[in-house]
Amino acid sequence: NAGVTQTPKFRVLKTGQSMTLLCAQDMNHEYMYWYRQDPGMGLRLIHYSVGEGTTAKGEVPDGYNVSRLKKQNFLLGLESAAPSQTSVYFCASRTDSQIPIRNYGYTFGSGTRLTVV
Amino acid sequence: DAKTTQPPSMDCAEGRAANLPCNHSTISGNEYVYWYRQIHSQGPQYIIHGLKNNETNEMASLIITEDRKSSTLILPHATLRDTAVYYCIVRDTGANNLFFGTGTRLTVIP
């Protein structure tokens, strides 16, 4: 049981390049999330998904696209990278249990450190 | 989701209890209090959550005041590995976001 796995762990992009970050979870969770964290700040939600084939915008969606073609995977794409997208990206997932006591919270991946030069 | 207020930093001696406060004066009746921590830029880690009653697990205890306007996370015997940023979050279980503020940076001192 690996939990939430993010690939790659590190990446350097040139301005204007594109890339896709992959998040995979093996816990059969319905909900998946992409966050970014800038230095000295808390995490901010980019996009999220409440199930296979669905996606929705979070707080800071501009410049990013996502896809959830398979339940276990949630992809984050940058079509034309900008220096402002230099950040650490975290993926998370959680169960959709309607019983609050079983909603033990989100499970996070270890992050992808992205630098855009 | 209600906003929370936490002190930016705290120190605690190794082996002593660490008590991390959180104010959430605008919390609504169906919002839970969650605590997460983030160790040195790793992904946040779930610690504990509660609604009204005090809660305890293998990691920590959560004390929620009777009016639910504030809470305290207690690490009973802090170790150096507990040095981290601790986030207090209030959230409705139906909501689709965890609002992370800037948290409390806890430093455990040898």
User: DSSP string of B8-34?
Assistant: SEEEEETTS-EEEEEE-TT--TTEEEE
- The distance of Cα A117 from the centroid of its chain, to the nearest Å, equals 21
- Upper half-sphere CA count for residue B79 (Cβ side, 13 Å): 4
Residue of higher predicted confidence among A104 and A35: A35
* pLDDT attached to residue A95: 82
Angle at A104 between CA A36 and CA A49, to 5 degrees: 45
Q: A56, A49 in Cβ contact below 8 A?
A: yes
Strand partners, A47: A34, A57
Query: In Å, how far is A41's CA from the nearest CA of chain B?
Result: 6
Interface test with A, best of B98, B99, B102, B104 (most A CBs within 10 A): B98
What does the pLDDT average to over A4-17? 96
* pLDDT attached to residue B48: 92
* pLDDT attached to residue A112: 97
Residue of higher predicted confidence among A41 and B45: B45
Q: Which parts of chain B sit beneath pLDDT 70?
A: 1-2, 93-94
| Residue pairs spanning A and B at CB distance below 8 A | 54
pLDDT in tens, B47-70: 999 999 899 999 999 999 999 999
CA distances from B27 to A12, B68, B106 (A): 41, 7, 24
Examine the pLDDT at A104 and tell me if it is beyond 80. no
Examine the pLDDT at A21 and tell me if it is beyond 70. yes
pLDDT classification of A101: cutoffs 50, 70, 90? low
* pLDDT attached to residue B98: 79
Examine the pLDDT at A1 and tell me if it is beyond 80. no
Q: B42, A113 in Cβ contact below 8 A?
A: no
Q: Mean pLDDT over all residues of chain A?
A: 91
* pLDDT attached to residue A98: 59
* A43:B100 CB<8 A: yes
* pLDDT attached to residue B28: 87
* B44:A43 CB<8 A: yes
* A69 phi and psi angles, rounded to 5 deg: -75, -30
- Percent of chain B predicted with pLDDT > 90: 73
* B43:A111 CB<8 A: yes
